Structure 1
Amino acid sequence: MKALLSFFLILFFLSSFSQERYLEKNTKFSKRTYTYHRIKKEKNLKFEFYKPKKRTGKVPLLIYVHGGGFSGGDRKDKIATDFAEEMVQYGYAVASISYRLTMKNKGFGCKIKSALKIEAFNDVSQDISYAVKYFLRRKNKFKIDTDKIILVGSSAGAEAVLNLAYVYSNKILNPNFKFAGVIAMSGAVTSIDKITIETAIPTQLFHGVQDNLVPYNIDSHHYCKLKSVGYLNLFGSKAIAGKLKSINKPYYLYSVKNGNHSWNARPIYQCKKEIIDFLYYDVLNRKNRQIETTI
Protein backbone atom coordinates (compact mmCIF):
# COMPACT_ATOMS: atom_id res chain seq x y z
CA MET A 1 0.00 0.00 0.00
CA LYS A 2 2.87 2.37 0.91
CA ALA A 3 4.63 1.55 -2.36
CA LEU A 4 1.45 2.33 -4.31
CA LEU A 5 1.02 5.64 -2.46
CA SER A 6 4.63 6.56 -3.18
CA PHE A 7 4.11 5.80 -6.86
CA PHE A 8 1.13 8.15 -7.09
CA LEU A 9 2.99 10.88 -5.21
CA ILE A 10 5.90 10.62 -7.65
CA LEU A 11 3.49 10.65 -10.60
CA PHE A 12 1.77 13.75 -9.21
CA PHE A 13 5.13 15.49 -8.71
CA LEU A 14 6.29 14.72 -12.26
CA SER A 15 2.96 15.90 -13.66
CA SER A 16 3.14 19.14 -11.68
CA PHE A 17 6.74 19.73 -12.76
CA SER A 18 5.86 19.17 -16.40
CA GLN A 19 3.01 21.64 -16.14
CA GLU A 20 5.20 24.24 -14.45
CA ARG A 21 7.64 24.15 -17.34
CA TYR A 22 5.04 25.73 -19.60
CA LEU A 23 2.83 27.69 -17.23
CA GLU A 24 5.32 29.51 -15.01
CA LYS A 25 7.18 32.49 -16.39
CA ASN A 26 10.94 32.81 -16.80
CA THR A 27 11.88 36.35 -17.74
CA LYS A 28 15.33 35.76 -19.27
CA PHE A 29 15.62 35.13 -23.00
CA SER A 30 17.92 35.77 -25.96
CA LYS A 31 17.04 37.48 -29.24
CA ARG A 32 18.79 37.38 -32.63
CA THR A 33 17.99 38.18 -36.26
CA TYR A 34 18.51 35.60 -39.02
CA THR A 35 18.03 35.58 -42.79
CA TYR A 36 16.07 32.47 -43.76
CA HIS A 37 15.60 33.00 -47.50
CA ARG A 38 17.63 35.10 -49.92
CA ILE A 39 15.91 36.84 -52.81
CA LYS A 40 17.68 40.16 -53.32
CA LYS A 41 19.73 42.02 -50.75
CA GLU A 42 16.99 44.55 -50.13
CA LYS A 43 14.29 41.88 -50.05
CA ASN A 44 15.90 39.04 -48.10
CA LEU A 45 13.44 37.38 -45.75
CA LYS A 46 14.37 37.42 -42.07
CA PHE A 47 13.05 36.46 -38.67
CA GLU A 48 13.56 37.60 -35.10
CA PHE A 49 14.38 34.54 -33.01
CA TYR A 50 13.55 34.52 -29.30
CA LYS A 51 14.63 31.68 -27.04
CA PRO A 52 14.34 31.13 -23.27
CA LYS A 53 17.73 31.06 -21.56
CA LYS A 54 17.11 28.70 -18.67
CA ARG A 55 15.85 25.74 -20.69
CA THR A 56 17.66 22.52 -21.40
CA GLY A 57 16.92 20.17 -24.25
CA LYS A 58 14.79 20.85 -27.31
CA VAL A 59 11.98 23.40 -27.11
CA PRO A 60 8.69 23.88 -29.01
CA LEU A 61 8.74 26.60 -31.68
CA LEU A 62 6.03 29.16 -32.39
CA ILE A 63 6.26 30.76 -35.83
CA TYR A 64 4.44 34.09 -35.72
CA VAL A 65 3.15 35.67 -38.96
CA HIS A 66 2.09 39.32 -38.69
CA GLY A 67 -0.95 40.93 -40.30
CA GLY A 68 -1.22 43.87 -42.67
CA GLY A 69 -3.33 42.87 -45.65
CA PHE A 70 -0.33 41.32 -47.43
CA SER A 71 0.78 44.88 -48.13
CA GLY A 72 2.15 46.09 -44.79
CA GLY A 73 3.01 45.10 -41.25
CA ASP A 74 6.38 44.22 -39.79
CA ARG A 75 7.93 41.26 -37.99
CA LYS A 76 9.28 43.70 -35.39
CA ASP A 77 6.11 45.72 -34.75
CA LYS A 78 4.73 46.10 -31.23
CA ILE A 79 2.17 43.30 -31.55
CA ALA A 80 4.73 40.80 -32.84
CA THR A 81 7.32 41.85 -30.25
CA ASP A 82 4.85 41.75 -27.36
CA PHE A 83 3.64 38.30 -28.37
CA ALA A 84 7.16 36.90 -28.74
CA GLU A 85 8.44 38.38 -25.48
CA GLU A 86 5.41 37.00 -23.65
CA MET A 87 5.50 33.48 -25.04
CA VAL A 88 9.25 32.98 -24.74
CA GLN A 89 8.86 33.47 -21.00
CA TYR A 90 6.63 30.38 -20.89
CA GLY A 91 9.32 28.16 -22.38
CA TYR A 92 8.60 28.48 -26.10
CA ALA A 93 11.04 29.59 -28.77
CA VAL A 94 9.44 32.16 -31.08
CA ALA A 95 10.32 33.18 -34.62
CA SER A 96 8.58 36.33 -35.84
CA ILE A 97 9.06 36.23 -39.60
CA SER A 98 8.99 38.68 -42.47
CA TYR A 99 7.49 37.67 -45.81
CA ARG A 100 6.93 39.09 -49.29
CA LEU A 101 4.38 41.91 -49.24
CA THR A 102 3.08 41.12 -52.70
CA MET A 103 0.05 43.41 -52.43
CA LYS A 104 1.99 46.50 -51.36
CA ASN A 105 0.64 49.64 -53.09
CA LYS A 106 -2.16 47.53 -54.58
CA GLY A 107 -4.60 47.04 -51.72
CA PHE A 108 -6.60 43.92 -50.93
CA GLY A 109 -10.22 44.98 -51.35
CA CYS A 110 -13.04 44.30 -53.80
CA LYS A 111 -11.20 45.87 -56.76
CA ILE A 112 -8.38 43.33 -56.52
CA LYS A 113 -8.95 40.18 -58.56
CA SER A 114 -9.73 37.14 -56.46
CA ALA A 115 -6.98 35.18 -58.25
CA LEU A 116 -4.42 37.69 -56.98
CA LYS A 117 -5.75 37.29 -53.44
CA ILE A 118 -5.31 33.52 -53.62
CA GLU A 119 -1.84 34.04 -55.06
CA ALA A 120 -0.97 36.25 -52.07
CA PHE A 121 -2.14 33.53 -49.66
CA ASN A 122 0.05 30.99 -51.46
CA ASP A 123 3.10 33.27 -51.72
CA VAL A 124 3.15 33.80 -47.96
CA SER A 125 2.51 30.11 -47.31
CA GLN A 126 5.55 29.45 -49.47
CA ASP A 127 7.66 31.93 -47.50
CA ILE A 128 6.61 30.39 -44.18
CA SER A 129 7.57 26.99 -45.58
CA TYR A 130 11.07 28.27 -46.34
CA ALA A 131 11.33 29.50 -42.75
CA VAL A 132 10.26 26.10 -41.43
CA LYS A 133 12.74 24.37 -43.74
CA TYR A 134 15.48 26.65 -42.41
CA PHE A 135 14.75 25.47 -38.87
CA LEU A 136 14.45 21.82 -39.82
CA ARG A 137 17.91 21.89 -41.41
CA ARG A 138 19.38 23.59 -38.33
CA LYS A 139 17.42 21.86 -35.59
CA ASN A 140 20.55 21.07 -33.56
CA LYS A 141 21.80 24.64 -33.75
CA PHE A 142 18.50 26.12 -32.59
CA LYS A 143 17.64 23.18 -30.29
CA ILE A 144 14.11 23.05 -31.65
CA ASP A 145 11.74 20.14 -31.18
CA THR A 146 10.77 19.63 -34.82
CA ASP A 147 7.71 17.62 -33.79
CA LYS A 148 6.37 20.69 -31.99
CA ILE A 149 6.36 23.52 -34.53
CA ILE A 150 3.22 25.63 -34.18
CA LEU A 151 1.92 28.28 -36.60
CA VAL A 152 0.49 31.53 -35.24
CA GLY A 153 -1.01 34.29 -37.40
CA SER A 154 -2.91 37.55 -37.13
CA SER A 155 -5.34 38.77 -39.84
CA ALA A 156 -3.48 38.30 -43.16
CA GLY A 157 -1.02 36.19 -41.19
CA ALA A 158 -3.91 34.07 -39.91
CA GLU A 159 -5.14 33.55 -43.46
CA ALA A 160 -1.61 32.56 -44.48
CA VAL A 161 -1.05 30.03 -41.69
CA LEU A 162 -4.48 28.44 -42.14
CA ASN A 163 -3.85 28.29 -45.88
CA LEU A 164 -0.50 26.61 -45.23
CA ALA A 165 -1.97 24.14 -42.75
CA TYR A 166 -5.07 23.18 -44.71
CA VAL A 167 -5.09 24.30 -48.35
CA TYR A 168 -1.62 24.97 -49.79
CA SER A 169 0.00 22.25 -51.93
CA ASN A 170 3.44 22.25 -50.37
CA LYS A 171 6.45 21.37 -52.53
CA ILE A 172 9.05 22.75 -50.12
CA LEU A 173 8.54 20.66 -46.99
CA ASN A 174 8.71 16.89 -46.77
CA PRO A 175 5.23 15.38 -47.42
CA ASN A 176 5.49 13.58 -44.08
CA PHE A 177 6.04 16.79 -42.11
CA LYS A 178 3.09 17.95 -40.04
CA PHE A 179 2.65 21.04 -37.91
CA ALA A 180 1.88 20.40 -34.25
CA GLY A 181 -0.85 23.04 -34.17
CA VAL A 182 -2.10 26.36 -35.49
CA ILE A 183 -3.44 29.52 -33.83
CA ALA A 184 -5.38 31.91 -36.09
CA MET A 185 -6.66 35.31 -35.02
CA SER A 186 -9.34 36.55 -37.45
CA GLY A 187 -8.44 34.16 -40.23
CA ALA A 188 -10.19 32.15 -42.94
CA VAL A 189 -9.51 29.68 -45.75
CA THR A 190 -10.70 29.38 -49.33
CA SER A 191 -11.86 25.81 -48.78
CA ILE A 192 -12.46 23.36 -45.93
CA ASP A 193 -12.47 20.32 -48.20
CA LYS A 194 -8.86 19.43 -47.34
CA ILE A 195 -9.52 19.45 -43.60
CA THR A 196 -9.72 15.71 -43.06
CA ILE A 197 -9.03 13.15 -40.36
CA GLU A 198 -5.53 12.78 -41.82
CA THR A 199 -4.68 16.49 -42.16
CA ALA A 200 -6.38 17.96 -39.09
CA ILE A 201 -4.15 19.42 -36.39
CA PRO A 202 -5.04 21.11 -33.07
CA THR A 203 -6.52 24.45 -34.12
CA GLN A 204 -7.25 27.52 -32.01
CA LEU A 205 -9.44 30.18 -33.60
CA PHE A 206 -10.16 33.70 -32.32
CA HIS A 207 -12.73 35.76 -34.21
CA GLY A 208 -15.11 38.65 -33.80
CA VAL A 209 -18.58 37.67 -35.03
CA GLN A 210 -19.02 41.18 -36.50
CA ASP A 211 -15.68 41.17 -38.37
CA ASN A 212 -16.26 43.30 -41.48
CA LEU A 213 -13.14 42.17 -43.37
CA VAL A 214 -12.66 38.46 -42.78
CA PRO A 215 -15.94 36.54 -42.38
CA TYR A 216 -16.57 34.78 -39.10
CA ASN A 217 -18.49 31.96 -40.79
CA ILE A 218 -18.97 31.65 -44.57
CA ASP A 219 -19.08 34.74 -46.74
CA SER A 220 -17.04 36.72 -49.25
CA HIS A 221 -13.71 38.32 -48.41
CA HIS A 222 -14.29 41.96 -47.37
CA TYR A 223 -17.97 41.12 -48.07
CA CYS A 224 -17.42 41.93 -51.75
CA LYS A 225 -20.47 41.64 -54.01
CA LEU A 226 -20.81 38.55 -56.16
CA LYS A 227 -20.24 40.51 -59.39
CA SER A 228 -17.08 42.30 -58.20
CA VAL A 229 -13.67 41.11 -59.45
CA GLY A 230 -12.59 40.75 -55.81
CA TYR A 231 -15.34 38.34 -54.85
CA LEU A 232 -13.78 35.41 -53.00
CA ASN A 233 -15.79 33.05 -50.85
CA LEU A 234 -14.06 32.32 -47.56
CA PHE A 235 -14.63 29.92 -44.68
CA GLY A 236 -13.97 31.67 -41.38
CA SER A 237 -13.32 30.42 -37.87
CA LYS A 238 -16.87 29.17 -37.25
CA ALA A 239 -16.87 27.11 -40.44
CA ILE A 240 -13.40 25.69 -39.77
CA ALA A 241 -14.41 24.71 -36.23
CA GLY A 242 -17.57 23.12 -37.60
CA LYS A 243 -15.56 20.96 -39.99
CA LEU A 244 -13.15 19.88 -37.24
CA LYS A 245 -16.08 19.08 -34.98
CA SER A 246 -17.71 16.95 -37.66
CA ILE A 247 -14.60 14.77 -37.96
CA ASN A 248 -14.02 14.68 -34.18
CA LYS A 249 -10.72 16.54 -34.20
CA PRO A 250 -9.44 19.06 -31.62
CA TYR A 251 -10.29 22.74 -31.88
CA TYR A 252 -10.67 25.74 -29.61
CA LEU A 253 -13.08 28.36 -30.96
CA TYR A 254 -13.16 31.70 -29.16
CA SER A 255 -15.98 33.88 -30.51
CA VAL A 256 -16.69 37.49 -29.59
CA LYS A 257 -20.35 38.42 -30.18
CA ASN A 258 -19.82 42.12 -30.78
CA GLY A 259 -16.20 41.79 -31.86
CA ASN A 260 -14.85 43.33 -35.05
CA HIS A 261 -11.58 42.84 -36.92
CA SER A 262 -9.61 44.22 -33.96
CA TRP A 263 -9.71 40.66 -32.63
CA ASN A 264 -6.88 39.91 -35.03
CA ALA A 265 -4.55 41.21 -32.28
CA ARG A 266 -6.56 41.52 -29.06
CA PRO A 267 -6.15 37.83 -28.07
CA ILE A 268 -2.42 38.45 -27.65
CA TYR A 269 -3.23 40.83 -24.80
CA GLN A 270 -6.60 39.61 -23.53
CA CYS A 271 -6.45 35.83 -24.02
CA LYS A 272 -3.01 34.82 -22.77
CA LYS A 273 -4.46 32.14 -20.50
CA GLU A 274 -6.49 30.63 -23.34
CA ILE A 275 -3.44 30.53 -25.63
CA ILE A 276 -1.21 28.94 -22.98
CA ASP A 277 -3.99 26.49 -22.12
CA PHE A 278 -4.41 25.45 -25.76
CA LEU A 279 -0.68 25.04 -26.33
CA TYR A 280 -0.11 23.04 -23.17
CA TYR A 281 -3.11 20.71 -23.28
CA ASP A 282 -4.03 20.38 -26.95
CA VAL A 283 -0.67 20.76 -28.68
CA LEU A 284 1.93 19.47 -26.25
CA ASN A 285 -0.24 16.88 -24.48
CA ARG A 286 -2.69 16.08 -27.30
CA LYS A 287 -5.83 16.03 -25.17
CA ASN A 288 -8.06 16.11 -28.26
CA ARG A 289 -10.48 18.62 -26.75
CA GLN A 290 -13.27 20.48 -28.53
CA ILE A 291 -13.88 23.82 -26.86
CA GLU A 292 -16.20 26.67 -27.82
CA THR A 293 -16.25 29.91 -25.85
CA THR A 294 -18.43 32.93 -26.65
CA ILE A 295 -18.11 36.27 -24.90
Structure 2
Amino acid sequence: MKTLLSLCSIFYFLNSFSQVDYLSKSNKFSERTYTYLRIKKEKNLKFDFYRPKKTKGKVPLLIYVHGGGFSGGDRKDKNSTAFAKEMVQYGYAVATISYRLTMKGKGFGCATNSALKIEAFNDVSKDISYAVKYFLRRKKRLKIDADKIILVGSSAGAEAILNLAYVYNNKILDPNFKFAGIIAMSGAVTSIDKITTETAIPTQLFHGTKDNLVPYNIASHHFCKLESVGYLNLFGSKAIAKKLKSIQKPFYLYSVKNGDHSWNTRPIYQCKNEILDFLYYDILKQKNRQIETEI
Protein backbone atom coordinates (compact mmCIF):
# COMPACT_ATOMS: atom_id res chain seq x y z
CA MET A 1 0.00 0.00 0.00
CA LYS A 2 1.11 3.56 -0.66
CA THR A 3 0.43 6.79 1.21
CA LEU A 4 0.61 10.12 -0.61
CA LEU A 5 0.54 13.60 0.94
CA SER A 6 -0.28 16.54 -1.34
CA LEU A 7 -1.64 20.06 -1.11
CA CYS A 8 -4.64 20.63 -3.33
CA SER A 9 -4.26 24.41 -3.18
CA ILE A 10 -0.71 24.18 -4.51
CA PHE A 11 -1.75 21.78 -7.27
CA TYR A 12 -4.55 24.14 -8.23
CA PHE A 13 -2.21 27.15 -8.36
CA LEU A 14 0.41 25.30 -10.39
CA ASN A 15 -2.11 23.48 -12.56
CA SER A 16 -0.62 24.62 -15.86
CA PHE A 17 2.82 23.35 -14.81
CA SER A 18 1.93 20.01 -13.32
CA GLN A 19 1.99 16.69 -15.11
CA VAL A 20 -1.22 14.66 -14.87
CA ASP A 21 -1.83 11.34 -16.58
CA TYR A 22 -5.13 11.05 -18.44
CA LEU A 23 -6.71 9.25 -21.37
CA SER A 24 -6.54 12.04 -23.95
CA LYS A 25 -6.79 15.81 -24.14
CA SER A 26 -9.21 17.59 -26.47
CA ASN A 27 -11.65 20.46 -26.05
CA LYS A 28 -14.06 19.12 -28.67
CA PHE A 29 -17.04 17.13 -27.46
CA SER A 30 -20.65 16.36 -28.29
CA GLU A 31 -23.57 17.06 -25.99
CA ARG A 32 -27.01 15.48 -26.13
CA THR A 33 -29.98 15.01 -23.79
CA TYR A 34 -31.68 11.64 -23.27
CA THR A 35 -34.73 10.50 -21.29
CA TYR A 36 -33.77 7.47 -19.21
CA LEU A 37 -37.01 6.94 -17.28
CA ARG A 38 -40.53 7.92 -18.30
CA ILE A 39 -42.86 8.68 -15.39
CA LYS A 40 -45.09 11.54 -16.49
CA LYS A 41 -44.38 14.00 -19.26
CA GLU A 42 -43.59 16.77 -16.81
CA LYS A 43 -41.53 14.46 -14.56
CA ASN A 44 -39.58 12.34 -17.02
CA LEU A 45 -36.03 11.78 -15.82
CA LYS A 46 -33.25 12.86 -18.16
CA PHE A 47 -29.51 13.16 -18.40
CA ASP A 48 -27.17 15.32 -20.42
CA PHE A 49 -24.51 13.20 -22.09
CA TYR A 50 -21.09 14.58 -22.98
CA ARG A 51 -18.63 12.58 -25.06
CA PRO A 52 -15.18 13.48 -26.44
CA LYS A 53 -15.28 13.74 -30.24
CA LYS A 54 -11.80 12.58 -31.17
CA THR A 55 -11.70 9.52 -28.93
CA LYS A 56 -12.25 6.27 -30.82
CA GLY A 57 -13.82 3.18 -29.33
CA LYS A 58 -15.48 2.85 -25.95
CA VAL A 59 -14.61 5.22 -23.11
CA PRO A 60 -15.12 5.25 -19.32
CA LEU A 61 -18.31 6.92 -18.10
CA LEU A 62 -18.64 9.32 -15.18
CA ILE A 63 -22.18 9.75 -13.85
CA TYR A 64 -22.51 13.01 -11.92
CA VAL A 65 -25.28 13.33 -9.31
CA HIS A 66 -25.94 16.89 -8.13
CA GLY A 67 -26.64 17.98 -4.55
CA GLY A 68 -29.51 19.97 -3.11
CA GLY A 69 -30.84 18.14 -0.07
CA PHE A 70 -33.00 15.87 -2.24
CA SER A 71 -35.31 18.85 -2.68
CA GLY A 72 -33.46 21.10 -5.12
CA GLY A 73 -30.52 21.29 -7.50
CA ASP A 74 -30.40 20.65 -11.22
CA ARG A 75 -28.36 18.55 -13.63
CA LYS A 76 -27.73 21.75 -15.60
CA ASP A 77 -26.46 23.83 -12.66
CA LYS A 78 -23.04 25.45 -12.92
CA ASN A 79 -21.26 22.79 -10.87
CA SER A 80 -22.69 19.88 -12.85
CA THR A 81 -21.93 21.41 -16.24
CA ALA A 82 -18.49 22.64 -15.15
CA PHE A 83 -17.54 19.13 -14.04
CA ALA A 84 -18.87 17.54 -17.23
CA LYS A 85 -17.19 20.01 -19.58
CA GLU A 86 -13.91 19.67 -17.70
CA MET A 87 -13.73 15.87 -17.50
CA VAL A 88 -14.90 15.24 -21.07
CA GLN A 89 -11.80 17.08 -22.26
CA TYR A 90 -9.66 14.39 -20.63
CA GLY A 91 -11.21 11.48 -22.53
CA TYR A 92 -14.13 10.55 -20.27
CA ALA A 93 -17.79 10.45 -21.21
CA VAL A 94 -19.88 12.27 -18.61
CA ALA A 95 -23.59 12.14 -17.81
CA THR A 96 -25.21 14.69 -15.50
CA ILE A 97 -28.50 13.20 -14.38
CA SER A 98 -31.83 14.38 -13.03
CA TYR A 99 -33.58 12.44 -10.28
CA ARG A 100 -36.79 12.69 -8.29
CA LEU A 101 -36.67 15.47 -5.71
CA THR A 102 -38.77 13.56 -3.21
CA MET A 103 -38.03 15.91 -0.29
CA LYS A 104 -39.14 19.08 -2.05
CA GLY A 105 -41.33 21.06 0.33
CA LYS A 106 -40.46 18.75 3.22
CA GLY A 107 -36.98 19.88 4.15
CA PHE A 108 -34.15 17.63 5.29
CA GLY A 109 -33.37 18.89 8.77
CA CYS A 110 -34.02 17.71 12.31
CA ALA A 111 -37.79 18.18 11.99
CA THR A 112 -37.97 15.71 9.10
CA ASN A 113 -38.51 12.09 10.11
CA SER A 114 -35.37 9.99 9.71
CA ALA A 115 -37.37 7.28 7.91
CA LEU A 116 -38.16 9.80 5.16
CA LYS A 117 -34.46 10.64 4.86
CA ILE A 118 -33.55 6.99 4.35
CA GLU A 119 -36.38 6.68 1.83
CA ALA A 120 -34.93 9.65 -0.07
CA PHE A 121 -31.50 7.98 -0.18
CA ASN A 122 -33.08 4.83 -1.59
CA ASP A 123 -35.32 6.64 -4.09
CA VAL A 124 -32.38 8.43 -5.66
CA SER A 125 -30.30 5.24 -5.63
CA LYS A 126 -33.17 3.65 -7.52
CA ASP A 127 -33.25 6.45 -10.11
CA ILE A 128 -29.49 6.26 -10.64
CA SER A 129 -29.83 2.51 -11.15
CA TYR A 130 -32.32 3.10 -13.95
CA ALA A 131 -29.92 5.55 -15.56
CA VAL A 132 -27.12 2.98 -15.36
CA LYS A 133 -29.42 0.33 -16.82
CA TYR A 134 -30.16 2.67 -19.73
CA PHE A 135 -26.44 3.01 -20.42
CA LEU A 136 -25.76 -0.70 -20.16
CA ARG A 137 -28.46 -1.47 -22.71
CA ARG A 138 -27.05 1.13 -25.12
CA LYS A 139 -23.34 0.77 -24.41
CA LYS A 140 -22.42 0.05 -28.03
CA ARG A 141 -24.41 2.93 -29.48
CA LEU A 142 -23.14 5.39 -26.87
CA LYS A 143 -19.64 3.89 -27.02
CA ILE A 144 -19.08 3.60 -23.29
CA ASP A 145 -17.08 0.99 -21.39
CA ALA A 146 -19.61 -0.89 -19.24
CA ASP A 147 -16.78 -2.08 -16.97
CA LYS A 148 -15.69 1.48 -16.27
CA ILE A 149 -18.77 3.28 -14.92
CA ILE A 150 -17.83 5.68 -12.12
CA LEU A 151 -20.27 7.44 -9.79
CA VAL A 152 -19.60 11.05 -8.81
CA GLY A 153 -21.74 12.98 -6.35
CA SER A 154 -21.93 16.18 -4.35
CA SER A 155 -23.62 16.47 -0.91
CA ALA A 156 -27.02 14.75 -1.31
CA GLY A 157 -25.67 13.29 -4.55
CA ALA A 158 -22.68 11.91 -2.65
CA GLU A 159 -24.99 10.38 -0.05
CA ALA A 160 -27.04 8.81 -2.84
CA ILE A 161 -24.10 7.24 -4.69
CA LEU A 162 -22.50 5.92 -1.51
CA ASN A 163 -25.86 4.49 -0.50
CA LEU A 164 -26.23 2.90 -3.93
CA ALA A 165 -22.79 1.30 -3.85
CA TYR A 166 -22.64 0.22 -0.23
CA VAL A 167 -26.11 0.02 1.34
CA TYR A 168 -28.98 -0.12 -1.17
CA ASN A 169 -30.59 -3.48 -1.93
CA ASN A 170 -30.53 -3.20 -5.71
CA LYS A 171 -33.19 -5.11 -7.65
CA ILE A 172 -32.76 -3.16 -10.89
CA LEU A 173 -29.20 -3.91 -11.94
CA ASP A 174 -27.72 -7.35 -12.52
CA PRO A 175 -26.33 -8.77 -9.25
CA ASN A 176 -22.98 -9.27 -10.99
CA PHE A 177 -22.69 -5.64 -12.03
CA LYS A 178 -20.13 -3.58 -10.12
CA PHE A 179 -19.26 0.09 -10.37
CA ALA A 180 -15.63 0.83 -11.22
CA GLY A 181 -15.33 3.54 -8.59
CA ILE A 182 -16.84 6.40 -6.60
CA ILE A 183 -15.96 10.06 -6.11
CA ALA A 184 -17.97 11.42 -3.18
CA MET A 185 -17.79 15.06 -2.10
CA SER A 186 -19.13 15.59 1.45
CA GLY A 187 -21.09 12.36 1.58
CA ALA A 188 -21.98 9.72 4.16
CA VAL A 189 -23.82 6.40 4.57
CA THR A 190 -26.22 5.01 7.16
CA SER A 191 -24.07 1.91 7.66
CA ILE A 192 -20.59 0.62 6.80
CA ASP A 193 -21.45 -3.00 7.57
CA LYS A 194 -21.89 -3.88 3.90
CA ILE A 195 -18.47 -2.51 2.90
CA THR A 196 -16.61 -5.79 2.56
CA THR A 197 -13.76 -7.24 0.54
CA GLU A 198 -16.38 -8.37 -1.99
CA THR A 199 -18.28 -5.06 -2.31
CA ALA A 200 -15.48 -2.52 -1.91
CA ILE A 201 -14.51 -0.45 -4.94
CA PRO A 202 -11.95 2.37 -5.37
CA THR A 203 -13.45 5.28 -3.43
CA GLN A 204 -12.32 8.91 -3.41
CA LEU A 205 -13.68 11.02 -0.57
CA PHE A 206 -13.49 14.82 -0.18
CA HIS A 207 -14.72 16.25 3.12
CA GLY A 208 -14.27 19.20 5.45
CA THR A 209 -13.59 18.17 9.04
CA LYS A 210 -16.01 20.83 10.34
CA ASP A 211 -18.91 20.05 8.00
CA ASN A 212 -22.03 20.96 9.99
CA LEU A 213 -24.52 19.17 7.75
CA VAL A 214 -22.97 15.85 6.73
CA PRO A 215 -20.58 14.47 9.38
CA TYR A 216 -16.93 14.00 8.48
CA ASN A 217 -16.60 10.97 10.76
CA ILE A 218 -19.50 9.46 12.75
CA ALA A 219 -22.34 11.67 13.96
CA SER A 220 -26.00 12.39 13.34
CA HIS A 221 -27.20 13.95 10.10
CA HIS A 222 -27.29 17.75 10.51
CA PHE A 223 -26.01 16.95 14.03
CA CYS A 224 -29.61 16.51 15.16
CA LYS A 225 -30.12 15.64 18.82
CA LEU A 226 -31.02 12.08 19.75
CA GLU A 227 -34.55 13.03 20.80
CA SER A 228 -35.41 14.75 17.48
CA VAL A 229 -37.47 12.93 14.83
CA GLY A 230 -34.76 13.71 12.31
CA TYR A 231 -31.98 11.98 14.23
CA LEU A 232 -30.08 9.72 11.83
CA ASN A 233 -26.62 8.40 12.60
CA LEU A 234 -24.29 8.62 9.60
CA PHE A 235 -20.80 7.40 8.73
CA GLY A 236 -18.91 10.09 6.87
CA SER A 237 -15.78 10.06 4.73
CA LYS A 238 -13.34 9.41 7.57
CA ALA A 239 -15.33 6.40 8.81
CA ILE A 240 -15.69 4.99 5.28
CA ALA A 241 -11.96 5.38 4.62
CA LYS A 242 -11.13 3.71 7.94
CA LYS A 243 -13.31 0.73 7.01
CA LEU A 244 -11.71 0.43 3.56
CA LYS A 245 -8.27 0.67 5.14
CA SER A 246 -9.10 -2.10 7.61
CA ILE A 247 -10.00 -4.49 4.80
CA GLN A 248 -7.02 -3.37 2.66
CA LYS A 249 -9.05 -1.89 -0.17
CA PRO A 250 -8.21 1.23 -2.20
CA PHE A 251 -9.35 4.66 -1.07
CA TYR A 252 -8.33 8.29 -1.47
CA LEU A 253 -9.36 10.41 1.52
CA TYR A 254 -8.96 14.16 1.05
CA SER A 255 -9.60 15.91 4.38
CA VAL A 256 -9.85 19.68 4.70
CA LYS A 257 -8.94 20.81 8.21
CA ASN A 258 -11.73 23.06 9.54
CA GLY A 259 -13.43 22.87 6.13
CA ASP A 260 -17.20 23.32 6.02
CA HIS A 261 -19.92 21.93 3.76
CA SER A 262 -18.76 24.11 0.86
CA TRP A 263 -16.32 21.30 0.11
CA ASN A 264 -19.23 19.44 -1.47
CA THR A 265 -18.48 21.41 -4.67
CA ARG A 266 -15.05 23.01 -4.25
CA PRO A 267 -13.11 19.90 -5.42
CA ILE A 268 -14.65 20.38 -8.88
CA TYR A 269 -12.71 23.63 -9.23
CA GLN A 270 -9.78 23.19 -6.88
CA CYS A 271 -8.88 19.50 -7.02
CA LYS A 272 -8.97 18.59 -10.69
CA ASN A 273 -5.52 16.99 -10.53
CA GLU A 274 -6.46 14.81 -7.57
CA ILE A 275 -9.59 13.65 -9.37
CA LEU A 276 -7.70 12.88 -12.57
CA ASP A 277 -5.01 11.10 -10.58
CA PHE A 278 -7.60 8.92 -8.84
CA LEU A 279 -9.42 8.11 -12.07
CA TYR A 280 -6.27 7.18 -13.92
CA TYR A 281 -4.28 5.27 -11.30
CA ASP A 282 -6.88 3.83 -8.93
CA ILE A 283 -9.62 3.00 -11.43
CA LEU A 284 -8.07 2.59 -14.87
CA LYS A 285 -4.69 1.24 -13.74
CA GLN A 286 -6.02 -0.44 -10.57
CA LYS A 287 -2.98 0.45 -8.47
CA ASN A 288 -4.83 -0.42 -5.26
CA ARG A 289 -3.49 2.59 -3.36
CA GLN A 290 -4.51 3.89 0.07
CA ILE A 291 -4.07 7.66 0.16
CA GLU A 292 -4.77 10.02 3.02
CA THR A 293 -4.29 13.75 2.46
CA GLU A 294 -5.05 16.66 4.77
CA ILE A 295 -4.73 20.36 4.00
CA RMSD of aligned residues (A): 1.1
Show the counterpart of 2:206. Answer: 206
Aligned residue in 2 for 1:81: 81
Secondary structure of 1:22's counterpart equals coil
- Look up the match of 2:244: 244
CA distance in 1, matches of 2:24, 2:270: 18
Aligned to 2:9: none
Paired residue secondary structure (1:111):
coil
The Cα offsets for residues 12-38 of structure 1, whole Å up to 9 and x where unpaired, read as xxxxxxx98825521000000000000
Once residues 39 and 123 of structure 2 are traced to their aligned partners in structure 1, the CA distance between those partners, rounded to angstroms, is 13
Equivalent residue number for residue 46 of structure 1: 46
Q: Which amino acid aligns with 1:127?
A: D
Aligned partner letter, 1:113: N
Whole-angstrom distance in 1 between the partners of 2:72 and 2:154? 13
For residues 178-230 of structure 1, what are the alpha-carbon distances to aligned partners after superposition, in whole Å with 9 as ceiling and x for unaligned? Answer: 00000000000000000000000000000000000000000000000000000
SS in 1 for 2:22: helix
CA distance in 2, matches of 1:188, 1:208: 12
Query: C-alpha offsets along residues 249-285 of structure 1, whole Å, 9 cap, x if unaligned?
Result: 0000000001000000000000000000000000001
Deviation at 1:152, TM superposition (A): 0.2
In 1, are the aligned partners of 2:20 and 2:277 still within 8 Å (CA)? no
Distance 1:115 1:125 in 2: 15
Determine the C-alpha separation between the residues in 2 that align with 1:212 and 1:56: 44
1:60 aligns with 2:60: yes
**TM-score, normalising length from structure 1?**
0.93
Q: Percent identity?
A: 83
CA–CA separation in structure 1 for the residues paired with 2:136 and 2:222: 36
Aligned to 2:265: 265
Structure 1: 5+ residue stretches without partners: 1-18
User: Which amino acid letter does the alignment assign opposite residue 52 of structure 1?
Assistant: P
Alpha-carbon distance in structure 2 between the residues aligned to 1:280 and 1:94: 15
Supply the distance in 2 between the matched residues of 1:125 and 1:137 (Cα, whole angstroms): 18
Paired AA for residue 170 in structure 2: N
**Matches of 2:48 and 2:180, distance apart in 1:** 21
Which has the higher Rg, Structure 1 or Structure 2? 1
Which residue of structure 2 lines up, in the alignment, with residue 72 of structure 1? 72
Segments of structure 2 that go 5 or more residues without pairing to the other structure are 1-18
Give the corresponding residue for 1:11.
Answer: none
**How far, CA to CA, are the matches of 2:249 and 2:283 in structure 1?**
12
TM-score (norm 2): 0.93
